[in-house]
Amino acid sequence: MVMDFNHKEIEAKWQQRWKDAGVFKAKAEADKKKYYVLEMFPYPSGKLHMGHVRNYSIGDVVARTRRAMGYNVLYPMGWDAFGLPAENAAIKANVHPADWTYKNIKQMREQLQALGYSYDWDRELATCHPGYFRWEQKLFTQMADRGLAYRKSSFVNWCADCATVLANEQVEDGRCWRCSSEVEQKELVQWFFKITDYTEELLADIEKLHGGWPEKVLTMQRNWIGRSEGALVRFPLDRPEGDTTHIEIFTTRPDTLWGVTFMSLAAEHPLALQLAAGTGREEEVAAFVKKVRNEDKINRTSDDYEKEGVFTGRYVTNPVTGKKAPVYIANFVLMDYGTGAVMAVPAHDQRDFYFAQKYGIPMEVVIKGESTPDDASLLTEAYVDAGTMVNSGPFTGVPNEEGKSRVIGYLKEMGYGDSTINYRLRDWGISRQRYWGAPIPMIHCEKCGIVKVPEEQLPVTLPDDINWADHTSGSPLAAHPTWKHVACPVCGEPALRDTDTMDTFMESSWYFLRYTSPRHETGIFDKEAANYWMGVDQYIGGVEHAVMHLLYARFFTKVLRDLGHVDLDEPFNRLLTQGMVTMEAQKCPTHGWLFPEEVTKDHACTQCGAPVERGRVEKMSKSKKNVVDPMKYIDTFGADTVRFFMLSDSPPERDLEWSDAGVEGTSKFINKVWRIATAFLEAAPECGELGTSEIRKVAHRAVKKVTEDIERFHFNTAIAEIRVLFNELGTVKPASPSEWADYREALAMGIRLIAPFASHMAEELWERLGHSELLTNFSWPIHDEELLKEAEFLLVVQVNGKVRDRINVPADAAEDQVKELVLASPKIQELIAGKTLRKFIYIPKRLANVVAN
């Protein structure tokens, strides 16, 4: 009797068997070609969502297929376990962040295991474990030794009530997300990583990633680094400020130097307050500077931010013209780009144009396009395009593009300035006034200064006894009564630990290397293992990490290389950014956004019966309630069905719309495969010698197509081909022992092809087909090209480019013979009757086009 596929029993059975057999354990074997598949590891929120399921289902297909193709596969999983949610849970529910995190890890591990992914669980790691962050602390000290980690003062979002730094995304409308008090910009001394030492290499090596990474991500990285070539120009001050005699500016438009009519400084510029001293404008300038500095970044970068400024009462001299230009403080000038000072050319820069209009500053045209007026007062906007330099001393008449480099040469010669390259990329501030992170392994001693924690004292672990009820005293580590007090490792006198923890982006910047030797005890990771397994052959994750995580991981890889830990320039050879899982959001006029289960089949609200408004199809999110719980579907339909569906509807890099109908359809197909296979086993037909019946050809074609499609990540078309094969297996009626042998081969091939997608069912059917060895250990099927050769092929015949006929042609027919057959076709004869044959185009095995008029 043919039974429906019992997913619960069969999935549990094979998960246990795989575990017992240890089939997914990775071992470095020099004689085998390695393949490292990695998904971006999750934050252990405690609950798997559909985005995870999609991400890992893609990776598992890659891992299983590569294993079957004979590669030595490393496919690990772990937890990005430090971070704010654990600390928030601690404050809210008075649970220790570690307890909360480990409980979540346990839950999520169980969920992942229920999905049957082929991870090597022996390599699992959690970044909050001292065995992990110990090496991160060691690395930090090594970076500090090399000057790659240093302290400097910078402006940060600061909440005075909570006494802590806030990330930009934790500032809402200029207020603290937690206590709603106003956020200030505060200057604070923090640890930084000198990522800017690697700017050029990070930029140049992007070229190595073409083809392997999505262009979009490479562009984002390039833009983030933001290289721009230009000039530094020194403008003499009207009178010196201490040792400062000049103000230095950065410009990409040295060709407009003759059109400078004023200068703008950032409010944070070191000279901003000093300049006004003694000019009678001190108060106005001080008030403006204070106002700008206290504005939060979100406000400052909003669209309608009004350009404002204040005159300092001081002047600089334009070195090339000798003209005086007033110095302003302007709110749109950024201290962290260039030198924080800008030469203003209102005729050729839109911002300067607005500013000059507002404050009645003169303008001067120095670049002329075809219809640029001579008189700047006739301009309605800045002219920013190419043109000819005018009123520019020795450069008048020079095309401005050529002028850029010639002016720089002139500046050098005269000693006014130099060429330079400026970057947008800033050093990476990593200090966090948080508890749930890796402590910065540094000690502040009054006598010895800043001293690193000696290696034998690592790891510096977190104290457990934190008073979570009191979160107003700021950093939990700073507030802890004893933890920070320690003897200076150099002089032995009382000293203080650094009470900041490291940015959690650090853990994800090297975890892929630790996976290669996750329990290594004598160093950050085993160099030999890292050299064997790295780089990651296929990395898979969300595009939201396109800049930060991937840039930091690339940076760390280069640092680790330079510290001698690994021989590697780039960590990820290939990157796939998978699309989001989306779903229609639904809203009730009175009850707001509704979960899918709060909506009836007729699109009415279950609470009030009102018709729901259909929202956009967008990323599943708790706020829009357009979410479904993967575990619910796994319980109902099984892991095979959910995973199969995740891959069957859309190519992986595109968004996938979740659909209950789609999952049900997939479930029907899984059951169909089960029925076809069990019906065959039930019938137990006599199988003779293999023949050449049609079903064999279909199967071998499927093997070819599925193999190619998986290789290019077109899982949806691979699945379509698998369906074609099983549709055929469901209809053919073998009539002889030879045909049954063909059928049996085709069925076995189908099971092997479906194994990466519906792994549990495939194993079960494989066993029932009489194999004692695990399907997981079998190699990938290979098609026989001979079988795909046909005696005849169907030739499409066009007349003047339009399809008019299809005729059968012997496979070995030469062009002349084909032409004869085509012209002999009654249909074609009729269509070209009375016309002259102009041309005969033949694309072998595909198409013939008769051109006649």
Partner RNA sequence: GCGGUUGUGGCGGAAUUGGUAGACGCGCUAGAUUCAGGUUCUAGUGGGCAUACGCCUGUGAGGGUUCGAGUCCCUCCAACCGCACCA
Positions 330 through 359 that interact with RNA (CB under 7 A): 331-335, 337-338, 340, 342-343, 349, 351
Site for RNA in 255-274 (CB under 7 A): 266
Q: Residue 815 Cβ, how far from RNA at the closest point, in Å?
A: 13
846 lies in the site for RNA, by CB under 7 A:
yes
736-to-387, 680, 688, 733, 740 alpha-carbon distances in Å: 83, 14, 8, 9, 6
Q: Dihedral of the CA atoms 528, 532, 536, 538 (nearest 10)? A: -160
Structure tokens at 580: 């989001």
Choose, by CB under 7 A, the member of 12, 179, 610, 843 that binds RNA: 843
Residue closer to RNA by CB (options 589, 730) is 730
- Strand residue runs (E) in 242-273: 244-251, 262-265
The minimum distance between CB 847 and RNA, in angstroms, equals 4
What one-character DSSP code corresponds to residue 20?
Answer: H
Instruction: Decide: helix, strand or coil at residue 656.
Output: strand
Among 321, 671, 736, 738, binds RNA (CB under 7 A): 671
Strands 262-265 and 309-317: unpaired
The residue among 379 and 563 lying less far from RNA, judged by its C-beta, is 379
Stretch that binds RNA, among 50-58, 96-104, 120-128, 801-809 (CB under 7 A): 801-809
User: Of residues 688-707, which lie at the interface with RNA (CB under 7 A)?
Assistant: 705
Q: Name the minimum Å distance from CB 191 to RNA.
A: 23
Count of residues engaged in binding RNA, rule: CB under 7 A: 82
Scan for tokens 């909570």, then name that residue.
162
Cα separation, 541 vs 58, in Å, equals 10
Nearer to RNA, 716 or 738 (CB): 716
Out of 590, 731, 836, 853, the only residue in the binding site for RNA (CB under 7 A) is 731
CB burial string 426-453: b at 16+ within 10 A, e below:
ebbbbbbbbbbbbbbbbbbbeeeeebbb
Smallest distance, Å, CB 744 to RNA? 20
Tokens of 446: 């009054």
- The two tokens of residue 585 are 């959001």
Beta-carbon contacts of residue 327 (< 8 Å; ≥ 6 apart):
247, 262, 263, 264, 265, 275, 311, 312, 314, 315, 316
Q: Are 543 and 42 in contact (CB under 8 A)?
A: no
* Helix, strand or coil, per DSSP, at residue 226: coil
Least Å from the CB of residue 264 to RNA: 7
Under the binding rule (CB under 7 A), the answer on residue 82 touching RNA is no
Shortest CA distance to 769 belongs to which of 744, 732, 790, 746? Answer: 744
CB of 342 to RNA, least distance (A): 4
- Contact region with RNA (CB under 7 A), list: 311-319, 370-378, 469-477, 722-730: 722-730
Question: What is the closest distance, in whole angstroms, from the C-beta atom of residue 813 to RNA in the complex?
Answer: 16
Minimum separation from the CB atom of position 643 to RNA (A):
15
Token pair 């006198």: residue: 493
Q: Which stretch binds RNA (CB under 7 A): 60-68, 88-96, 319-327, 845-853?
A: 845-853
Candidates 72-80, 87-95, 124-132, 213-221: pick the segment binding RNA (CB under 7 A): 213-221
**Residue by residue, what is the 3-state secondary structure of 295-328?**
CCHHHHCCCCCCCCEEEEEEEEECCCCCCEEEEE
Q: Which of 419, 727, 736, 738 binds RNA (CB under 7 A)?
A: 727
Among 17, 323, 368, 714, binds RNA (CB under 7 A): 714
φ/ψ of residue 206, rounded to 5: -55, -35
Stretch touching RNA by CB under 7 A, among 196-204, 273-281, 493-501, 712-720: 712-720
Q: What is the distance of C-alpha 511 from the center of its chain? A: 16
Q: How many other CB atoms are found less than 10 A from the CB of residue 726?
A: 23
Task: Give, as ranges, the residues between 42 and 81 that touch RNA (CB under 7 A).
Answer: none
Indicate which single residue of 200, 215, 694, 816 sits in contact with RNA (rule: CB under 7 A).
215
Which residues between 406 and 425 bind RNA (CB under 7 A)? 422, 424
In the sheet with 494-497, reading across from the earlier edge strand, the strands are 449-452, 442-445, 494-497, 485-487
Contact string 531-560 vs RNA (x = CB under 7 A): ------------x--xx-------------
The total number of residues written for the chain in this structure = 853
**With respect to RNA, which residue has the nearer C-beta, 85 or 662?**
662
> Whose CA is closest to 256, among 351, 414, 384, 421?
384
Q: What single DSSP character describes residue 712? A: T
Nearer to RNA by Cβ, of 78 and 340: the residue is: 340
CA distance 742 to 735: 11
Nearest 5°: the CA angle 573, 578, 583 is 175
The pattern of x and - marking residues 8 through 47 that bind RNA according to CB under 7 A reads ----------------------------------------
- Around 605, how many Cα atoms within 13 Å sit in the side-chain half-sphere? 18
As a whole number of angstroms, the distance between CA 688 and CA 745 comes to 11
661, 735, 791, 833: which one contacts RNA (CB under 7 A)?
A: 661
**Who's near 532: CB < 8 A, 6+ residues apart?**
28, 30, 34, 516
Contacting residue, 129, 672, 744, 771, with RNA by CB under 7 A: 672
How near is the Cβ of 268 to RNA at its closest, in Å?
Answer: 10
Q: Which of 250, 556, 680, 766 binds RNA (CB under 7 A)?
A: 250
Q: CB under 7 A: which stretch of 127-135, 169-177, 222-230, 530-538 binds RNA?
A: 222-230
Nearest CA to 248 out of 320, 312, 339, 352 is that of 339
Let me know the angle formed at the C-alpha of 307 by 305 and 313, rounded to the nearest 5 degrees.
145
Applying CB under 7 A, the span of 60-68, 437-445, 654-662, 775-783 interacting with RNA comes to 654-662
Token pair recorded at residue 227: 């290289």
Minimum separation from the CB atom of position 545 to RNA (A)? 11
Candidate ranges 60-68, 81-89, 311-319, 718-726; the one touching RNA (CB under 7 A): 718-726
For RNA, which stretch binds (CB under 7 A), given 58-66, 374-382, 599-607, 657-665? 657-665
Our finding on whether 654 is near RNA (CB under 7 A) is yes
Residue 552's φ and ψ, nearest 5 degrees, are -65, -40
CA terminus-to-terminus distance, the chain = 66
Q: Select 27 or 601, whichever has its Cβ closest to RNA.
A: 601
- Residue 347 C-alpha from the chain's centroid: 40
- Cβ closer to RNA: 274 or 420? 420
449: Cβ–Cβ under 8 A, 6 or more apart, which residues?
A: none
Q: In angstroms, what is the minimal distance from the CB of 126 to RNA?
A: 29
743, amino acid identity: Y
How far apart are CB 814 and RNA at their closest, in Å? 18
CA neighbor of 328 nearest in space, from 352, 350, 300: 352
Residues 481-500, mask of contacts with RNA (x by CB under 7 A): --------------------
How many CB atoms within 10 Å of residue 465?
Answer: 9
Instruction: Kindly tell me which of 47 and 654 has the beta carbon lying closer to RNA.
Output: 654
Shortest CB 349 distance to RNA, Å: 6
* Shortest distance (Å) from residue 401 CB to RNA: 15
Strands (E), 530-680: 538-542, 575-578, 581-588, 592-594, 613-619, 656-657
Q: How far is the CB of 378 from RNA (least distance, A)?
A: 23
Near RNA by CB under 7 A: residue from 120, 507, 640, 649: 649
**What backbone torsions phi and psi does residue 542 show, to the nearest 5 degrees?**
-80, 150
Region near RNA per CB under 7 A, out of 89-97, 156-164, 225-233, 585-593: 225-233
294-333: which residues touch RNA (CB under 7 A)?
300-301, 303, 305-307, 331-333
CB of 252 or CB of 467, closer to RNA: 252
Q: Identify any residues that bridge with 485 across adjacent strands, giving them in sequence order.
A: 496
- In this complex, which beta carbon is closest to RNA, that of residue 589 or of residue 801? 801
H or E stretch including 487? strand 485-487
With binding defined as CB under 7 A, does residue 798 bind RNA?
yes
